[in-house]
Amino acid sequence: MEQIGHACEEWGAFQLKNHGIPKSVIEELEMQTKRLFDLPKEQKMKALRTPDYPTGYGTVWITPFFQQRMWQEGFTIFGSSEDDAKKIWPDDYQTFCDATKKFQEESKVLIEKLIHLSFKYLGISEEEEANWIGNNHAGATQLNSYPVCPKPENAMGIAPHTDTSIFTLLNQSQASGLQVFKDGSGWFNVPLEPNTVVINTGDVLHILSNARFKSALHRVTVNSIKHRYSMVYFYRPIMEHVVSPLGSDNPRFRALTFKEYVAIKDKHFDKSLSIISVKED
């Protein structure tokens, strides 16, 4: 608990071994992720994401905030992946759906343990904790592919951003590339370690902790040798849930629904947390 709390305060991110997610669950999703992105473009485009339809194949959601295209393709899942997987593999979608479902279930269990420990560290009651887990949570899964890049020094896999989640769980596959920013020190590579997941805190936990926990600023670099993949799970509250600093006499953020926060983030991106900050007298 202490180590997790300190990591969230200092970095907003940490690597976790002995995390309890079976190796087979991660390996199976890794295989399905490669199977998906190795398909011809026309086949992936059958599940193209649109502004009105937020799941499926497409570029990362932060794309509109940057002038340069990112060296990345992605696949977004809210809840079940079945509808989108059927568009791509009408007769053969089941193995993909099973892999995403198992990954979501295991990630949820692990993140709920982390919520328990981090809330305890912050002195938040178990009664309050119950409001953030189980049926009050919504999961989103993001699969990312970063093809080999001939000029990696000129490209960015995913530009710097913070996640909108409570916690994010991330697996790097084939190559490292994830970097986390530490105030006063700069960008740090997150090494590729076997049987290890990366956890980072997102904006929601930053708000709940009244800014005690960092929301890790992170980005992805690409390379000229290996095609990199990542599999990411975002643990988020349901849209109607009110987000505000928990148990603090001196809240640094105003209360708002998660839905409202998502809308602010879609419009104002990296200014979002300062927009909901309460001005000090």
Exposed, middle or buried, 22 (CB in 10 Å: 0-12/13-18/19+)? exposed
Count of residues in contact with Fe ion, rule CB under 5 A: 1
Segment interacting with Fe ion (CB under 5 A) among 7-15, 26-34, 41-49, 163-171: 163-171
Segment interacting with ligand AKG (CB under 6 A) among 38-46, 96-104, 129-137, 170-178: 170-178
- Residue burial 107-125, b: 16+ Cβ < 10 Å; e: rest: bbebbbebbbbbbebbebe
Distance CA 188, CA 171 (A): 17
Is the Cβ–Cβ distance between 171 and 73 less than 8 Å?
no
State yes or no: residue 230 binds ligand AKG (CB under 6 A). Answer: yes
Distance CA 166, CA 102 (A): 20
Q: Which is nearer to ligand AKG, 231 or 264 (CB)?
A: 231
Which is it for strands 158-161 and 186-189: parallel, antiparallel or unpaired? unpaired
Helix (H, G, I), strand (E, B) or coil at 121: helix
Distance CA 100, CA 80 (A): 8
One of 26, 158, 216, 217 touching ligand AKG (CB under 6 A)? 158
State yes or no: residue 163 binds Fe ion (CB under 5 A). Answer: yes
State yes or no: residue 203 binds Fe ion (CB under 5 A). Answer: no
One of 36, 178, 197, 243 touching ligand AKG (CB under 6 A)? 178
State yes or no: residue 232 binds ligand AKG (CB under 6 A). Answer: yes
Q: Which is nearer to ligand AKG, 124 or 156 (CB)?
A: 156
Is the Cβ–Cβ distance between 176 and 190 less than 8 Å?
yes
Which H/E stretch holds residue 235? strand 228-237
The residue to which tokens 């086949």 are assigned: 43
Active site residue 252: no
State yes or no: residue 145 binds ligand AKG (CB under 6 A). Answer: no
CB of residue 167 to ligand AKG, shortest distance in Å: 12
State yes or no: residue 30 binds Fe ion (CB under 5 A). Answer: no
Given ligand AKG, Fe ion, none, residue 101, with its beta carbon under 5 to 8 Å by kind, binds none
State yes or no: residue 144 binds ligand AKG (CB under 6 A). Answer: yes
As annotated, the active-site residues are: 228
Chain residues in the site for ligand AKG (CB under 6 A): 142, 144, 158, 163, 170, 172, 178, 218, 220, 230, 232
